Structure 1
Amino acid sequence: MCVYVRELTQEEGNKLLHLTRRGSTSFAMRRALILLASAQKMKVPEIARSYQCGEDHVRDVLHQFNKIGWDSLKPNYGGGRKPTFTEEQRSMIIQLAQMPPRAAGMPFTQWSLSKLANAAVQKGIVKTITAETVRVILDKANITYQNTKTWKSSKDPEFEVKKNASNRSTKRHPPTDV
């Protein structure tokens, strides 16, 4: 039994012809060529040889067009790999990044991407995660990560007084007149 495209109207034929000449995607152009060839009563094996594709592909194109019409000319991409982390995990990582490390029970004052990744694993948010993935998650949440400058602090209770006090052991030099 031969498979053909359904009877096309003049308008549909013109639209397919236009797609073969000025189609937006090669996917649509190739399918339009197959449909036009079928409309001219070419058999599936002849179409497959002419356009160097499999007979099963030609049959699929014809059946899809007969069933769903013009939507069959649009690519139906799978969308790639499914997200590794759930939205809940992502939001927990974002919340962790926005709190001070000390409040999260960490012994440092500033987050780095690697420290944030390690903390997410330690807290059981995720099993494993890379610093780059953390950066991507923060970037999608419009949280910019910037290396921050840190200063040493002291546990000495008199640190502030000593810090600003003049050091008398330093010899003063007289001003020079130039």
Structure 2
Amino acid sequence: MVVIGVSGVGKSTVARLLAERLGLPFAEADDFHPPANIRKMSSGVPLDDHDRRSWLETVGRWLDDHDADGSGGVVSCSALRRRYRDALRSSCPSAFFLHLTAERALLEARLHGRTGHFMPETLLDSQLAVLEPLQPDERGATLDASPPPEEITRRAAEAVTEAGWN
């Protein structure tokens, strides 16, 4: 399962809680970025598709490895564009995407209060500009990320159960 959305929406928090609730391994896709990507984002420059290619391949391998060994897993990963999700699906066809959404004001407030993350608030505009919501043919669900994380996690668990994800 891949918890997706823009920076500040709560991907990592919800993905961790969901992994705990479902008894699955968790991974933070940001941990798979090469140092050059982190330097670029830290300086306020958005990544381009070339920058993302090897990163998405690495995340996709993590998903596929955990699918193949039967352990499953939950990863938090922006995956803002359809083609990025397609790249992850090409590695792990059974991937289920949980898209978290929130109003801009909430995202800005969360980013402003966040410390210790390399992603600056200034990149929110670029993320919102490229965001492509899940399409009807994509296996997944979209949830409002404004409730408390525990409520989002409960709704997420219900959504994956209803979808028959295993």
- TM above 0.5, one fold? no
Q: TM-score normalized by structure 1?
A: 0.25
**Relative contact order (alpha carbons < 8 A, sep ≥ 6): 1 or 2 greater?**
2
- TM value normalised by structure 2: 0.27
Instruction: Pick the structure with more strand per residue.
Output: 2
